[in-house]
Structure 1
């Protein structure tokens, strides 16, 4: 009988104990692929700006990401190129299989570190997809990045989707109606994304993905080692739907809009601290976590402090993600002390935690400045994310788009927890224990620190 490991906040320990009336079993909980491998050299690129003149769609999870993604993938007629960190949602596999059935050429570069990903990858390759194991520490041969953590999709060389969310059931929940709460609505992670119609920008991101894939210079299947998992993780589902849903919003541009790609390890730290330091009204941030003691993250926080020093009335508010273990709570207590002492950012007033009665997690990596500009990206606030991973984002200044994401932030801030949440105690469950319902499966790629 397979064992189901459940913790109300996910495990960070190496083993868990399962007790029944008949026997006691020790269950090994494997770690994900280590991300501290020795990296090969990478030559940073000069990242240009682009003038976009057509259309931009802003979207969010759990509200509208799947609906927007399905619409664009279903409309693909020639090519789909994807670079993504986690891909486990079976319905996303079905979308790609349907595209391949109508002769669309699909390319997937995936950071493979779990058995469900490995199995899915193999099935798609068997059906004719071009598959490449990303050149990260998860690849047993080619180690250029700690993690290939981007979430980029290029369709027909015309559209590019850049987002914070993975292709997991919580980051792209199966909500087919855009921003509406029908009877089958599924909550999930808070994530955000931008779909931009621009052949020049789409081709730029396609070239980045192709260059990364070219670093893997052997048959992808031969470079991969099997990933063996004999367990999966579940947790209690949020008790309620989000109080307000946000349909995607389409912006038809009437004048060229300057768009700046933000990549790690290339230009994140060259651009983002300076943009933050120039804020004069408000800095709104949603992040999975902030590792305030890490040197490069300290520079980002120093940029916030610099902005606060210019007009003392500057508003800084941050929504952070869920804490998955009691060990995380202890670390976060120290983190909050440092954020308050070094940067004047206080729990409740400046920092809150996503309401897990409505959302699974805050997996977002969004920055809104002065209600005028926004960063939508894959970069967490860790040194690895801004300097050693492959990550991707978009920075743009557009009042309407910034307003859309600011509205989402305000909704999440209003319901967020103002005290440090309790991570809860661990449980181990049998398949029969799950029969009463009330649980959701959680993919480790959505919460692992990278």
Structure 2
């Protein structure tokens, strides 16, 4: 389990010229966090968070900024290792943090532009922290000299070893996601960016009527606005008695809730696609998806869902302002079903979430590549994206790199510019790197997958786009899967899309995968957690 807290690092405050400076004695309290610029009128709810040694009488201490000094009127003692927050609006702050909250008796105003804050005991400064300009709605972590959105999680990578997963792609398996929901007997937790599919709504309502616990979490303000179909879907779910929460409150932890996954009983589905006809419904996008019953991956997704749904920036759909925009989805063509779902053995699966750990984990995976990188993306937002820089480093090492980008009208121009620039880099450095713009030729509508295959052995499937906003500001979810069978499955699909030709899975491939899966289960399962 993990908890959403305002400040989680309580180590020593590092000495650093011009940054945060700590002067604490071993037995003295320390300033570990500041919230100078709340997302509220008049900056109501500013706070300072202290770590407090055992048997500390906090009423002997004063807190000072560059204008005034105030006595800390809090409980006189604190338990060992405790964290205490002092706020100008304790009632409001208590809804945002887990630790005890006390009022600052005479008030203190933290400068949005930055200043020095001191903790004073018997006339002596026992700790001091200097911070720079404060972004709205973010807390300052004195240990790392960094700003983080208030309420953000500090999610570790969770790893589960052994077992099997079911892999499938879209639009080839248009019924698979709905069938997954229809098989629920106990619970459904559905998280998405957009939810507009009538089939998905019908499956959720039917599950609710037969006694399944159903909860839905989605973005309240997607790019371009909430569509009429999206509002109608939420209305239908809420009217049926299903809990629907959307990200529509302040302060906001994420730019967008862009994750796309569902937990059904003891299994989980993670996909690159939205819960809409063009996505999981198989009526447009090329997408990737994985279903797993690996226990700790499922538990990690449940914890992520509960933490995201349970904070103040989510609201019940019934109380949200419902401004909508018109839908504009043309009638889709029928697409061939060249690739069927397959049960595949895996060596290890890792649950990655952004902004907590996905960037670092994916950069490490790319940096470890020895032979090949196959990348499938809607777009690459700019040249400085860390994942692209790591990819160029890999190409410099001699790793063969192939990047397949979407040819959809809304990204084609910038993707062609990126293609030209990457080809210039490849030519100048004699790098084994090639880029193509996808030409679906009737096999799918557009590339929407966010996929990565490393050395044919490691595959990432999830919602992460190759852009800093996705990596650092959005809530994203994905699975990093180790195993040649998964790499071969998605690699075959990649090869087909890359070569602009139909390519079905080899005869007997699925049967062979089933035999390998049974063998993997017989060997047993080893579970581990990563920090």
Taking structure 1 as the reference length, what is the TM-score of the superposition?
A: 0.72
2:186 is aligned, of 78, 93, 109, to 78
Compare CA radii of gyration and give the structure with the larger one. 2
Indicate the residue corresponding to 1:227 in structure 2: 323
Indicate the residue corresponding to 1:214 in structure 2: 310
| Deviations, residues 311-361 of structure 1 (Å, cap 9, x unaligned) | 3xx321121113325xx5443443233323345599994323242543211
> How far 1:107 moved relative to its partner?
0.2
Would you say the 8 A contact 1:354–1:362 is kept in 2? no
Rate the CA distance shift 1:169–1:348 in 2: closer, same or farther, 3 A: farther
CA–CA distance in structure 2, aligned partners of residues 269 and 120 of structure 1 = 33
State whether structure 2 residue 239 is matched by structure 1 residue 126.
yes
Would you say the 8 A contact 1:366–1:376 is kept in 2? yes
1:372 is aligned, of 451, 457, 462, to 457
2:493 is aligned, of 402, 408, 421, to 408
CA–CA distance in structure 1, aligned partners of residues 314 and 499 of structure 2 = 50
| Deviations, residues 250-297 of structure 1 (Å, cap 9, x unaligned) | 1256xxx3221111101122111121122122111111111133x3x1
State whether structure 2 residue 218 is matched by structure 1 residue 110.
yes
State whether structure 2 residue 403 is matched by structure 1 residue 318.
yes
Indicate the residue corresponding to 2:335 in structure 1: 241
CA–CA distance in structure 2, aligned partners of residues 104 and 79 of structure 1 = 5
State whether structure 2 residue 387 is matched by structure 1 residue 273.
no
Would you say the 8 A contact 2:406–2:415 is kept in 1? no
Would you say the 8 A contact 2:423–2:434 is kept in 1? no
Taking structure 2 as the reference length, what is the TM-score of the superposition?
A: 0.61
Would you say the 8 A contact 2:300–2:351 is kept in 1? no
> How far 1:234 moved relative to its partner?
3.9
Indicate the residue corresponding to 1:424 in structure 2: none
Would you say the 8 A contact 1:339–1:346 is kept in 2? no
State whether structure 2 residue 253 is matched by structure 1 residue 144.
yes
Would you say the 8 A contact 2:345–2:486 is kept in 1? no
Q: What are structure 2's unaligned runs of at least 5 residues?
A: 1-134, 139-148, 221-225, 502-531
Would you say the 8 A contact 1:140–1:223 is kept in 2? no
CA–CA distance in structure 2, aligned partners of residues 217 and 84 of structure 1 = 16
> How far 1:155 moved relative to its partner?
1.1
> How far 1:220 moved relative to its partner?
1.2
CA–CA distance in structure 1, aligned partners of residues 498 and 136 of structure 2 = 37
Would you say the 8 A contact 1:93–1:120 is kept in 2? yes
Rate the CA distance shift 1:265–1:348 in 2: closer, same or farther, 3 A: closer
Would you say the 8 A contact 1:160–1:195 is kept in 2? yes
2:285 is aligned, of 182, 189, 193, to 189
Rate the CA distance shift 1:102–1:201 in 2: closer, same or farther, 3 A: same
Q: What are structure 1's unaligned runs of at least 5 residues?
A: 1-35, 175-186, 417-450
> How far 1:71 moved relative to its partner?
3.1
Indicate the residue corresponding to 1:202 in structure 2: 298
Aligned-pair Cα RMSD in Å? 2.7
